[in-house]
Structure 1
């Protein structure tokens, strides 16, 4: 139990709570727009940026963040080019991210172990700089979502109708995708690139089963996310388990229990 009071655990808890807040705030709009896989895409591109950061000896998360934002612009451009097949943009950018990451891995064989920690998460290694970056991103996401929640809501359900109503859909699409890139790039050190989409989607999927309104689904998804982060970190810390994997398995367990409970009430 002493681990729960250590400095590195407190930093991990702070970082986890911040991502636990921002991921579902963005994830709710991704799920409603059927863009759940965009998290995986941006995570793979971010890993390529992290690898480059290690190679040129620049703060890896900063380079990963730049890569993710650039990829978000690419996704939006391709989404417009392939309106009928919008999912192609995600597949193309993901392929490019994986390809670039693999090349950078081979160029920097000496730091492969460090990059691997970003694949599976290394929340216990968060330092003060990481917390500042995560906190800044959390602040930006909360402000943007608060200001444009109604516009994002309309965009998520009917983009064409939103455009007819005079909303700047191109700008809103780009803003939402960039916000996703910021969240994903800062979350990979906490849960890992392979698991980051779980924080974006599973809390939302659970909340949509029981929420009675859009606002309540946002609140519930954040509560579910934060609960999984806190319990996951405590369980992982006490029993020496992988924090990212523990958090995600807790989220899946909560989803299953909700499905079972809802089926029980409906029969």
Structure 2
């Protein structure tokens, strides 16, 4: 029976979607962590849920509605960050509040759809269909291409935004581009790990890689590898013991982080 599950079509789609998100989440996450914008993941996830709820309400493809909401929220965050330069975290708090409020409103209006929307809160990777995989795959290609083209620019922006501006880089455009990419990744990841856990996939692999990597490039590679290990092993464990896939992946990442911290302490002492 276990073999039947692991080799079933739905598990194959789940694994494919998980592997794709396992690439894009840490690729974006490392720039967010270095810029101290880790909480932007939770913010855009809440806004995406509002879009998903509206999608169910008006009979529109939920992931597409959530993606549109996330991208619009990313533009709003950048606008607010510019308005409150000394209090940039205010933009995240304001947009998160708006996202939660809209989601609550749409929940109230569409009581019959609450069960469907709840699957996006906690993840429903086993229900991925071919359309979902196409969307996730498209976002993965976009993220990889953009990061490859602007890797040096994003690197400089993450460590010293003022220096990047002085050197003539289009800081405003790069900030917007990174925020939009974050919105795309989060809006496609919520069906895989859930809105409540998506931030973990953005940050925990990066947190582990920063403990063991000796350069920025190696930290990027380690983050992606760690993410993929957690996704694949987590999905297999969840499939065998009938556990929640998103929660299993995140708890596995936390266990890996603890083991890395303990191991580093032992080797350094």
SS of corresponding position for 2:85: coil
The residue number in structure 2 matching 1:249 is 251
Superposition deviation, residue 180 in structure 1: 0.1
The answer to whether 1:15 aligns with 2:17 is yes
* CA positional deviation for 1:227: 0.2
Structure 1 length-normalised TM: 1.00
Question: Residue 214 of structure 1 corresponds to which residue in structure 2?
Answer: 216
Q: How does 1:84-233 map to 2 (within 5 A)?
A: 84-233=86-235
Q: RMSD of the TM alignment (CA)?
A: 0.3
Unpaired runs of 5+ in structure 1?
none
The ranges of structure 1 where at least 4 consecutive aligned residues each deviate by more than 4 angstroms after the TM superposition are none
> What TM-score does the superposition give when structure 2 sets the normalisation length?
0.99
2:56 corresponds, among 54, 57, 76, to: 54
Give distance in 1, aligned partners of 2:151 and 2:248.
31
TM-superposed deviation, 1:65: 0.1
Cα deviation digits, residues 139-169 of structure 1 (max 9, x gap): 0000000000100000001101100000000
Match of 1:258 among 252, 260, 266: 260
Once residues 144 and 253 of structure 2 are traced to their aligned partners in structure 1, the CA distance between those partners, rounded to angstroms, is 22
- Aligned partner (choices 25, 30, 37) of residue 35 of structure 1: 37
Segments of 5+ residues of structure 2 without an aligned counterpart are: none
